[in-house]
Amino acid sequence: MLKYKIVLAGTKDVGKSSLINRFCDNVFHEKTMSTIGVAFKRKKVNLDDDMNLELHIWDFGGEEKYRTLFPSYCHGASAALILYDTTNKESLIDVENWVKIIDKNADENVIKIIIGTKIDLKDKRVITFAEAKKASQKFDFFDDPVETSSKTGENVERAFLNVSKEIINRNLQLCKNCGEFFVKNLKICNYCGAKAELEQNN
């Protein structure tokens, strides 16, 4: 089973741990404890074509004092999910700070994706999809923002599936000889030994 590391970032209380809990355990709590330092969960994801992978999901306390931990955990991450809270303007402004840390510390081809949270709180919404999309274009995020609710579960799975598919896109290649997926960097299919053909988008 292929294993990929992903990290979640975002302002305190933006809903990082809640998103992970909904995705991994299908639960939601109105009251949560702030994450102290770092937390970790794994989750198997099944994609089309019998493609399975395991996500190793790292969660960080958004409190200022824990931010110093974040850079060292960026190393080796295939994707970084940066969250903003659709009911909190500052959380979208803070996205830039997280992007800077990720750009400085993560691998060059890390997938950055922006995720809005708490869309069930419709009356409290202060950030439109268009505003978030602007940020996503400015900071070179992969794809449009995905707006989620960990309370109702809306779009939570979609957010992680989008990321998983892109991880596969960037890291694996379909062997034209035997039809298996192999790790692109190997440049040779580790199932049948065929030499990899260069992909057009590379």
Ligand X SMILES: Nc1nc2c(ncn2[C@@H]2O[C@H](COP(=O)(O)OP(=O)(O)OP(=O)(O)O)[C@@H](O)[C@H]2O)c(=O)[nH]1
Q: How many Å apart are CA 55 and CA 45, to the nearest integer?
A: 7
Query: Per CB under 5 A, which of residues 99..138 are in contact with Mg ion?
Result: none
Q: How far is the CB of 22 from ligand X (least distance, A)?
A: 8
Token couple for 85: 């809270």
Q: Which of 11, 17, 136, 162 binds Mg ion (CB under 5 A)?
A: 17
Closest distance to ligand X from the beta carbon of 156 (Å): 9
11 binds Mg ion (CB under 5 A): no
Q: Give the residue at shortest CB distance from ligand X.
A: 62
Of 11, 21, 35, 136, the one binding Mg ion by CB under 5 A:
35
**Residue-by-residue DSSP string for 113-143:** EEEEE-TT-GGG----HHHHHHHHHHTT-SS
Decide: 150 and 21 in contact? Cβ < 8 Å.
yes
Q: Which lies closer to ligand X via its Cβ, residue 99 or residue 168? A: 99
From 46, 60, 15, select the one nearest 153 (Cα to Cα): 15
Rg value, the chain, Cα = 18
Nearer to Mg ion, 10 or 145 (CB): 10
Interface residues toward ligand X, by CB under 6 A: 10, 12-18, 29-32, 34-35, 61-63, 117-118, 120-121, 149-151
